[in-house]
């Protein structure tokens, strides 16, 4: 039986760190070699274990962003992945559902992410939107500017609260998820 765990980033120890690193490396190949995040530490993660083996992962950042003239509380998803031997068993879907439940309890307005492949997200009710975006550009622990453009075919959102997704500039008030 699989064990779904949610863990605050500050509680992650050496064993979990090494398991996360190995899963991210297998899933994303070109992942940074010295850490378990691309740009910045997330707020918390979901981990899926088969006994002592980590087979699923999703990082989440809790953040406020600005959309048009509206301020919104969001969960930003990063690095959703499932071990090859466990894919197509609804594990990613379960993680997205668990995050949605948490978002409802936590009065989150939207869950969002940036991804070129939409399959699993569209299956779970996320919608592709084409607002222009502004974000802090980070590479290898260095800030090198502010991005200001549409992120074509990649910005996916799911409404959690009562507010519909607004039109206008999405100011991420930080790095991209």
- Site residues, ligand COA (CB under 6 A): 27, 80-82, 87-93, 115, 117, 119-120, 123
Least distance to ligand COA from the beta carbon of 90, Å?
A: 4
Least distance to ligand COA from the beta carbon of 177, Å?
A: 10
Tokens of 29: 């190949």
Least distance to ligand COA from the beta carbon of 25, Å?
A: 11
Q: Toward ligand COA, which CB reaches closer, 114 or 169? A: 114
Q: Toward ligand COA, which CB reaches closer, 6 or 66? A: 6
Q: Toward ligand COA, which CB reaches closer, 66 or 94? A: 94
Least distance to ligand COA from the beta carbon of 3, Å?
A: 15
Q: CB nearest ligand COA: which residue?
A: 119
List phi, psi (to 5°) of 150: -75, 145
């Amino acid at each position: 039986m699989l064990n779904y765990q949610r863990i605050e980033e500050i509680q992650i120890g050496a064993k979990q760190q090494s398991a996360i690193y190995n899963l991210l490396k297998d899933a994303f190949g070109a992942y940074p070699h010295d850490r378990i995040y691309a740009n910045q530490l997330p707020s918390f993660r979901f981990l899926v274990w088969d006994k002592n083996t980590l087979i699923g992962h999703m990082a989440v950042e809790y953040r406020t962003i600005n959309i048009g003239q509206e301020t919104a509380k969001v969960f930003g998803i990063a690095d959703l992945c499932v071990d090859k031997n466990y894919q197509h068993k609804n594990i990613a879907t379960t993680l997205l559902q668990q995050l949605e439940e948490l978002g409802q309890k936590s009065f989150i307005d939207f869950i969002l992410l940036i991804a070129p492949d939409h399959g699993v997200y569209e299956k779970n009710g996320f919608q592709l939107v084409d607002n222009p975006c502004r974000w802090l550009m980070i590479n290898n622990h260095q800030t090198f500017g502010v991005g200001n453009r549409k992120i074509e075919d990649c910005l996916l959102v799911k409404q959690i609260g009562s507010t519909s997704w607004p039109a206008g500039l999405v100011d991420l008030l930080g790095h991209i998820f």
